[in-house]
Chain A
Amino acid sequence: MARYTLVQGTPQARTYHWVAWTLFIGLLVLVAFAYADTGQLNILENSYSVSLTRLNKAIAYVIAVLGLQVVVGYTGQLALGQSFFFGTGAYLSAWLVEDQHWPWLATLAVVIPACFLLGVLVGIPALRIKGLYLALVTLGLAAIFPSIVQLDSLDEYTAGAAGKKVNSDIVAPGWLPLDGIASVLQNIPFFGQYFGDGDLSSNDADRIWKFFVFTVVGAICFWMVANLIKSRPGRAIRAIRDNETSAAVSGVHLSRYKTMSFGVASALGGVGGIVYVAELGIASPGDFSQLLAIFFIVGLVVGGVGTLTGAVVGGIVIAFVPEWSSATTDVPGVPARWLQGPTGTLVLGILLILLTFVLPGGIVAGVRKMRAKVVRVTPSPPSSPAGADSAPPRESGDTPHPVDELSEPPTQHEDVPATSAPPG
C-alpha cells in the first residue's frame, strides 16, 4: 500500500519527524524574509500578494479556528459564536495597549482568563440547549457583538463605530541579527534575489520579528491544544462528543468538561483577537460580525473537523481566499463584475457546500489519503519488535469514516502522537 511504512518510535520514524520539522521551520524562516516586503504572485493579469500582514492575519484566524476545533470538533458542541470572543480579545487588548500602555504580551494575562470566563458563562446555558438550538443561540451571540461594542456607554473604551486604533507596535529587538540573516540569504546563488536587496529597513525588520512572535504564539497554542486532546480532559471531551450518555455513565462529569471546553475555545478565540489587532492596528466593530463567525466555521469545515492540522489549513484558507478573490480581476471569459467585491464570500460558501458533499473530512482528510500512499507511520506493535508484518488496528493517514466526522474520533495517531508531524 504505502511505499514506506514506518513504525512509531523507531529511529527511522524519528528521523522522518525531525527532517519534516526542520524543513518546516526552515520554510518559515525563508517565507519571513522573502515576504518581508510584499511578495507577489502573478497569474494572468492578476497579482496576488503574499505579505506578512496577510500571514499574520492567517495566524490569528488559525488560533481562533483551533479554539473552534476544541469545542466543535472535539467536544461535539455546535458553538458557532467564536467571533464574539475573537472580538473581545481584540478590543480588550487594544484598550490595554493603547489606553493603559501595556506591552502586548502582557495583555495575554488578562485576555485569556477573561475570555475563558466568558466562555464558561456561555457554556452554562449550553448545558441545556443542544445541537441546532445551540448553533442558533451562539450565532445570535456573534451577531450582536458589533452592537455591544458600539454602545454609547462603552464609547470611551471602544471608540464606537470608528474603531479603536492602536499605535503601539512590536519592535524587533536589537540583539537579533536579522540583518545578518538577510544578507546570508541574499547571497544564495540563484534564489538570493527573492530575499530583497541590501540591508533590511527597520520596518521590514519589525515585520519579520512580529511574524516570528506570532508564529511562536500560534505554535504554543497548537502545542497546548494538542496536549489537551491527548490528556485525560481531552479524552473526556471526546467521549462526550462521541456519545454523551455513555460518557456520563462512564463517570465523565458532563457539565465540568463541557464548560471547560467552552472556556478553552473562547480563550483561544481571544488570543487570536490579540494577534489580529496587533497586526492590523485597529479594531472595528464590522470586523467581528456574524459573518466572521461563519467564516470561522468555513475554516473549520474546509480544513477538517476534528483534526488540529485542519484548523491550521482552514485558518489560512479563510485569510487568503477572500482577499485573493478580490484580487482576481482578470479571468478570461468571466465579466469583471463577477470578480470583485463579495466574490471571496461566494467562493467560500460554494466551497463549504461542495466539501460537505465531496470531502466531508475537509482538505486534511483528502491530503492524508494521498499521503498514505507514500508514507505511513504506524504505531509500534505491543510486544514484538518493529516488524512489517504487524497490522495496527487503526492506520494513521486514513480518512475518517464516511459517517459524520463528529461521531468518529480523529485519526488520533496523526494528531496526537508522541512526536507530532508538522502540518501537511
Chain B
Amino acid sequence: MELFLARIFDGFSNGATYGLIALALVIIYKATTLINFAQGEMAMFGAFVVLVLATERGLPMWLAVVVGMLISAAAGALIERVLIRPFDPSDHLPLVIITLGLFLVFGALAGIIWRFDPRGFPHLFPAGNAITVGVATLTWYTVCVTITMLAVVGGLTLLLKKTKIGLAFRAVSSNLESAELSGIRVGPTLQFGWALAAAVGTLGASIYVANPIFQLEPSVMARVLIFSAAAAALGGLDSLGGAIIGGLIIGMVQSIMVQYVGFIPNELGLAAAVFVLMVVLLFKPSGLFGTKSVERV
C-alpha cells in the first residue's frame, strides 16, 4: 500500500509537468487548431534563460522564473506576429513546417549557446519531505509543484473568464468569423494566446528540471513533449482542465507501470505514450473532456 502511495506521489510530480506543457499545447490549439511542435524546445530554451538569470545575473529563483516567463511571452508574441500570422489559419502544412523549423532552431540555438553538458537547476522549492508514510515520501517538491499547477490553472481560468482579453480568446476559439464580426481583433488575440502558451511552457520546463533527479540540457524536453502531447490528446485538445488531468494520469500511469509491470523497461514508457496518443486520436479524438469540434478538424 505504501509503495503504491509512493508511486502516486512520484507520478504526480512528473504528471504536473506533463500537464503544464500539455496546457501550453492546448492554449495554442484552442486558439488556432494548430499543434505547436516546437513547444517543448521553446520551453527548454526558456528554462535556460531562467537558469542564466538566476546564476549569472543573481536573481532570486522565483524572480528569475517570472522574468523568464515574461521573456518567453514576448518571444511567443513575436513568433505569432512574424511567422504565424501571415498564413491562412486553415492551411496546416506551412504552419506545421514552420513549427518544425522552430523546433530545429530553438534546439540548435540552445546547443550553440549553452552546449550540451547537463547542468543542475537551482532549487525552486524547499527540499526534503513533507509527509512520510512508511516508505512513501511526499516531498516538498511534489507538494509545491501541485500547488503551482493548481495556481496556474486557477489563474488561467480567472484570466479567461473574467477579463476582456480572455473573453476575446474564448470567442476566437469558439467561432473565428463571428469573433471578427464582433469587432475582436483576431491577430492580437492569437498573439496573446501564443505569449501565454510560451510562458506556461517555460514554467513547466523550469519545474521539471528543478526536480533534483533531472538536469537541464538541450535535449531534455524532447521526451516530455511526447508525454505532454499524449496528455493533451487524452484530456481533450481543446480542454484546459483536461490537459492537466491528462498530464496527471499519464504521469501516474507511467510511475505505476515502472513499479508494477516490471518487465516493461523505462524506454517503453515513451512508446506507451505514443500508443495512447494513437488510440485516443483513433477512437475518441475529443479525449476525455474535449468538445466535438476537435473531431471536425
- Docked-complex contact B265 and A151, CB < 8 angstroms: yes
B92 touches A (CB below 8 Å): yes
- Docked-complex contact A137 and B94, CB < 8 angstroms: no
Q: Which of B108, B115, B229, B270 contacts A136 (CB 8 A)?
A: B229
Residues of B contacting A151 in the complex (Cβ-Cβ under 8 angstroms): 265, 267-268
| Segment of A43-51, A195-203, A341-349 engaged in the interface with chain B | A341-349
- Docked-complex contact B97 and A356, CB < 8 angstroms: yes
In the bound complex, CA of A409 to CA of B243 (Å): 39
In the bound complex, CA of A147 to CA of B265 (Å): 10
- Docked-complex contact B104 and A298, CB < 8 angstroms: yes
A92 touches B (CB below 8 Å): no
Residues 74-99 of chain B: 1 if any A CB is under 8 Å from the residue's CB, otherwise 0? 00000000010010000111101110
CB distance from A255 to the nearest CB of B (A): 14
| Segment of A11-19, A124-132, A367-375 engaged in the interface with chain B | A124-132
In the bound complex, CA of A350 to CA of B112 (Å): 15
B273 touches A (CB below 8 Å): yes
Q: Please judge, given known A-B contacts A137-B278, A152-B265, A343-B108, whether A144 and B103 are in contact too, CB under 8 Å.
A: no
Q: Please judge, given known A-B contacts A136-B277, A140-B226, A343-B112, whether A349 and B101 are in contact too, CB under 8 Å.
A: yes
Q: Please judge, given known A-B contacts A342-B111, A343-B112, A352-B104, whether A144 and B98 are in contact too, CB under 8 Å.
A: no
B100 touches A (CB below 8 Å): yes
A150 touches B (CB below 8 Å): yes
In the bound complex, CA of A343 to CA of B105 (Å): 9
B297 touches A (CB below 8 Å): yes
Q: Which of A128, A132, A360 contacts B96 (CB 8 A)?
A: A132
B141 touches A (CB below 8 Å): no
- Docked-complex contact B100 and A294, CB < 8 angstroms: yes
Residues of A contacting B96 in the complex (Cβ-Cβ under 8 angstroms): 78, 132, 135
- Docked-complex contact B105 and A350, CB < 8 angstroms: yes
Q: Please judge, given known A-B contacts A290-B222, A337-B112, A346-B104, whether A128 and B282 are in contact too, CB under 8 Å.
A: yes
In the bound complex, CA of A381 to CA of B102 (Å): 47
B66 touches A (CB below 8 Å): no
CB distance from B242 to the nearest CB of A (A): 16
Residues of A contacting B112 in the complex (Cβ-Cβ under 8 angstroms): 337-338, 341-343, 346
B34 touches A (CB below 8 Å): yes
Q: Please judge, given known A-B contacts A129-B278, A136-B229, A136-B277, whether A346 and B108 are in contact too, CB under 8 Å.
A: yes
- Docked-complex contact B102 and A349, CB < 8 angstroms: yes
B159 touches A (CB below 8 Å): no
CB distance from A58 to the nearest CB of B (A): 19
> How large, as a class, is the contact surface on chain A?
35 or more
Residues of A contacting B109 in the complex (Cβ-Cβ under 8 angstroms): 346
Q: Which of B97, B102, B104, B270 contacts A143 (CB 8 A)?
A: B270
Residues of A contacting B265 in the complex (Cβ-Cβ under 8 angstroms): 151-152
- Docked-complex contact A301 and B102, CB < 8 angstroms: no
Residues of B contacting A179 in the complex (Cβ-Cβ under 8 angstroms): none
- Docked-complex contact B98 and A148, CB < 8 angstroms: no
Residues of B contacting A353 in the complex (Cβ-Cβ under 8 angstroms): 83, 97-98, 101-102, 105
In the bound complex, CA of A243 to CA of B147 (Å): 49
> How many contacts A-B (CB < 8 Å)?
128
B281 touches A (CB below 8 Å): yes
Residues of B contacting A341 in the complex (Cβ-Cβ under 8 angstroms): 111-112, 115-116
Residues of A contacting B226 in the complex (Cβ-Cβ under 8 angstroms): 140, 143-144
Q: Name which residue of chain A comes closest to B100, CB basis.
A: A294
Task: Please tell me the number of chain B residues within 8 Å of chain A, measured between CB atoms.
Answer: 45
Q: Please judge, given known A-B contacts A125-B278, A132-B34, A404-B94, whether A349 and B108 are in contact too, CB under 8 Å.
A: yes
A357 touches B (CB below 8 Å): yes
- Docked-complex contact A301 and B97, CB < 8 angstroms: yes
In the bound complex, CA of A129 to CA of B279 (Å): 10
In the bound complex, CA of A144 to CA of B108 (Å): 21
A406 touches B (CB below 8 Å): yes
| Chain B, 203-256, CB within 8 A of any chain A CB | 222-223, 226, 229-230, 233
A102 touches B (CB below 8 Å): no
A205 touches B (CB below 8 Å): no
CB distance from A129 to the nearest CB of B (A): 5
- Docked-complex contact B271 and A144, CB < 8 angstroms: yes
Residues of A contacting B273 in the complex (Cβ-Cβ under 8 angstroms): 140
Chain B residues near A (Cβ < 8 Å):
33-35, 37, 83, 86, 91-94, 96-98, 100-105, 107-109, 111-112, 115-116, 222-223, 226, 229-230, 233, 265, 267-268, 270-271, 273-274, 277-278, 281-282, 285, 297
20 further A-B pairs in the complex, CB-CB below 8 A; given A132-B297, A137-B277, A294-B100: A125-B282, A129-B285, A135-B96, A136-B35, A136-B229, A137-B278, A140-B230, A140-B274, A143-B226, A144-B226, A144-B270, A147-B267, A148-B267, A298-B104, A342-B108, A342-B112, A349-B108, A356-B97, A356-B101, A360-B94
Chain A residues near B (Cβ < 8 Å):
78, 125, 128-129, 131-133, 135-137, 139-141, 143-144, 147-148, 150-152, 290, 294, 297-298, 301, 305, 337-338, 341-346, 348-353, 356-357, 360, 404-406
5 tightest A-B CB contacts, nearest first: A349-B104, A346-B108, A352-B101, A140-B274, A349-B105
Interchain Cβ contacts under 8 Å between A and B, 21 examples: A129-B282, A131-B92, A132-B33, A132-B297, A136-B229, A137-B281, A139-B37, A140-B230, A140-B274, A140-B278, A143-B270, A143-B274, A144-B271, A144-B274, A147-B268, A349-B107, A352-B98, A352-B104, A357-B86, A404-B91, A406-B93
